[in-house]
Structure 1
Amino acid sequence: MSSHHVRQRYWARALIGFSAMREAQTSGAHRALAALESQGYIQQLVTQNVDRLHQRAGSRRVIDLHGRADMVKCMVCDYQMMRHAMHAEMARMNPSFAGLEAGHAPDGDADLETDFSTFRIFDCPRCRGILKPDVVFYGDVVPAERRLAAQVALAESEAVLAVGTSLMVFSGYRFCRTAHERGLPLASLSLGVTRADALLSYQWRAPLTPVLEEAVRCLQFS
């Protein structure tokens, strides 16, 4: 983020590509997890996703471990604002870019290559510092308050279920390792292998939505 050219390229592409993330819809798995929370079976949901789809589906007890893609934060003064407001300002400042079209790429990016040298970046309205998405990028450290909140929730848990994750990123794997060390039942529901396979008490390699929806149906009558 220290390179002005890199930031020009990032925000110009995000101006086009972020709409795909903003307009993403919840899945049956998201809704089933929210239902399990409302039934009292989930006390805390810790997610590495940054799309807020769990909240849109109705989950309330959520820790966004890697942050929120819909927020931006100043790297100097910690000022925060909604990302759509920043994008609106940059669209006003860069009308020629706002009208471009490109294929969507992961994480709100776009497959756009052009001359970005004229792109104007919207800086922090409080101190003119650099704004960045309020997410944990590769190489960043999870903020201590989120990590500690997840650890507190784990200490109060009776079991841990990892859903739809390979657990290859240490920020999530660490909680499974701690659960195993404490002797808690540890289960995984995913389509493939996980980093925690050797630690698991139970493992289901299956599509998420049908399994979770069946769990909701069975548990609501228990």
Structure 2
Amino acid sequence: MQPAARPLAPTYQERRWEHPPDAVIHHGTVDDAARLLEGRTVTALTGAGISTDSGIPDYRSPDSPPRNPMTYQQFVGDDAFRRHYWARNHVGWQHVNRTHPNAGHRVLAELEQRGVVRGVITQNVDLLHEDAGSRTVIDLHGRYDRVICLQCGRTISRAHLAERLDALNPGFVESVLDDGTTVADIEVAPDADAVIARTSHFRPADCEFCGGVLKPEIVYFGENVPRARVEQAYALVDSADALLVAGTSLTVMSGLRFVRHAAKAGQPVVIVNRGETRGDPLATVKVDAGVSETLVALGEML
């Protein structure tokens, strides 16, 4: 059954795009953000920056090295790209699977329990919001713990695939790690990926049901977020009085569209992020500070 169509956003004539009268602060403090959000329900939009304190580096912070993520077209169209991806992912998955929620994740879960936060839209695939206890979470870009066959559509767990890849590539993980628990000379990225050089001998696994190509249930660059998931996220934004953005530069439209949607609807927008974001011109309050400590402070004030 097709999801119900979302009502069209108000036109320029129907509703002014400017923020409401109390939305006059731009670059501000956590106190400014708390005053703005007090008494309002909130939808949270999070990105890689909320997970850095859990040991998962982000893509676009000032200290992040340059990366060239594999595109969907490269993955599906080239066996060598696909082999290289699975070799890197097999190592990176070991690290992400051992991470734990930090204070930023936990405070959003607590605020949801108190009725302040309606839910979380996350651009991350690490499932740390769920692990922290958040109940309403939209994993916009998918989740790292599932794998889908592009031919038959069957879904399997990443843990099951790990067992198969270990059997096909005995000793591979140990060959690029100091030991079985510590990432050594590799770099783990937010999509459970890792940068390693020795991948030419890695053997990826095909679907055990039909022999098709397996792909992480993650939205790649060049791939669209499923429309039903986008509509669900818009509805979550509409269900709250304000939008709280935490730990994302909003560089890609995938997340920025929700900030634009909230601003058009006249909702206050609070952005917490170190450094500039593409959504700063739409922010009611922008707090340029660390995500975890700022969210904890907000949690104590709201």
Change (3 A) 1:129 1:207: same
Aligned partner of 1:152 in structure 2 is: 235
Regions of 4+ moved over 4 Å: none
SS of 1:179's partner is: helix
Q: Distance in 2 between matches of 1:42 and 1:30?
A: 12
Paired letter, 2:279: A
Percent of counterpart pairs with the same letter? Answer: 37
- Asked if 1:104 corresponds to 2:186, the answer is yes
What SS class does the counterpart of residue 236 from structure 2 fall into? helix
> Secondary structure of the equivalent of 1:44?
strand
Q: Which residue of 1 aligns with 2:72?
A: none
Q: Give CA-to-partner distance per residue, 1:35-88, whole Å, 9 cap, x none.
A: 111111110210000100111111111000000011111111211111111011
Answering whether residue 95 of structure 2 is matched by residue 20 of structure 1, we say yes
- 2:197 maps to 1:113: yes
Tell me the equivalent position of 1:123. 206
Aligned-pair distance for 1:96? 4.0
Indicate yes or no: 2:217 matched with 1:134.
yes
Q: Which amino acid aligns with 1:54?
A: H
- State how far apart, in whole Å, the 2-side matches of 1:210 and 1:114 are: 39
1:206 aligns with 2:289: yes
Q: How does 1:30-179 map to 2 (within 5 A)?
A: 30-102=105-177, 103-105=185-187, 106=189, 107-114=191-198, 116=200, 118-179=201-262
Counterpart check, 1:8 vs 2:83: yes
8 Å CA contact retained: 2:87, 2:199: no
Count of residues in correspondence between the two structures: 218
Q: Higher helix proportion, which one? A: 1
RMSD: 1.5
Task: Output the CA distance in 2 between the equivalents of 1:186 and 1:204.
Answer: 11
Q: CA deviation at 1:97?
A: 2.1
Deviation at residue 175 of structure 1 after TM alignment: 0.6
How far 1:100 moved relative to its partner? 1.4
| Cα separation, partners in 2 of 1:3 and 1:195, compared to 1, 3 Å | same
Residue in structure 2 matched with residue 190 of structure 1 by the alignment: 273
Higher relative contact order (CA 8 A, sep 6+): 2
Residue 104 of structure 1 and its aligned partner are, at CA, apart by 3.1
Once the two structures are overlaid, the 10-residue window that deviates more, 90-99 or 102-111, is 102-111
Matches of 2:123 and 2:216, distance apart in 1? 15
